[in-house]
Amino acid sequence: MTIKKAGKKAVLWLSTLALAVGLAVPQTSAEETSGGQVKNVIILIPDGMSVGATTLTRWYQGGEPLALDEMASGLVRTYSADAPIADSAPAGTAFATGHKSHTGFVGVLPDEYTMPGLPIIAEEDRRKPVASVLEAARLAGKSTGIISTSEVMHATPADFTAHYPGRSNYDALSEQQVYANLDVVLGSGYQYLQPDARKDKEDLIQVLKDRGYDYVTTPAAMRGSTSDKLWGLFAPAALDYDMDRDPSKQPSIAEMTAKALDVLSRNEEGFFLMVEGSKIDWAAHANDPIGIISDVAAFDKAVGVALDYAKKHQDTAVISVTDHGNGGITIGNAATSSNYDKLPLSYFIDPLKKASLTGEGVARKFNEDFSNVNEVMAQYYGITDLTDEEVAAIKSTPSRSMNYTVGPMISKRSGIGWTTGGHTGEDVVLYSWSPDGDNLTGVVENTDVAFYMARKLGVDLNEASKKLFVSAREAFEQKGAEVSWNNKDLYNPIVVITKGNDTLELPIYKSIAILNGKEHQLDGVVVFNGEKTYVPQSAVDLLP
Q: What is the pLDDT of residues 114-159, one digit of tens each?
A: 999 998 999 999 999 999 999 999 999 999 999 999 999 999 999 9
Structural domains present in the chain: 8-20+36-329+421-468 (3.40.720.10), 330-334+342-417 (1.10.60), 470-542 (3.30.457.10)
2 pLDDT more than 70: no
- For a pLDDT cut of 90, what percent of the chain falls above it? 92
Which is it for strands 330-331 and 470-471: parallel, antiparallel or unpaired?
Answer: unpaired
Per-residue model confidence (pLDDT) at position 34: 39
CA dihedral 18, 429, 272, 137 (to 10 degrees): 0
Per residue in 72-110, pLDDT tens? Answer: 999 999 999 999 999 999 999 999 999 999 999 999 999
32/83 Cα distance (integer angstroms)? 36
Calculate mean pLDDT across residues 497-501. 96
Residue 72 pairs in a beta bridge with: 431
- Residues labelled as active-site residues: 88
Cβ contact 366:372 at 8 Å = yes
Stretch 232-251: mean pLDDT, rounded?
98
pLDDT tens figures, 274-314: 999 999 999 999 999 999 999 999 999 999 999 999 999 99
Q: Is the pLDDT of residue 23 over 90?
A: no
Q: Which of 485, 483, 538 is nearest to 513 (CA)?
A: 538
Determine if the pTM surpasses 0.85. yes
Q: Is 299 exposed, middle or buried (0-12, 13-18, 19+ CB in 10 A)?
A: buried
For the residues 423-444, what does the mean pLDDT come to? 97
Q: Write down the pLDDT at residue 37.
A: 87
Average of per-residue pLDDT values in the chain: 93
Strand ranges in 2-131 using DSSP code E only, listed in sequence order: 40-45, 72-77
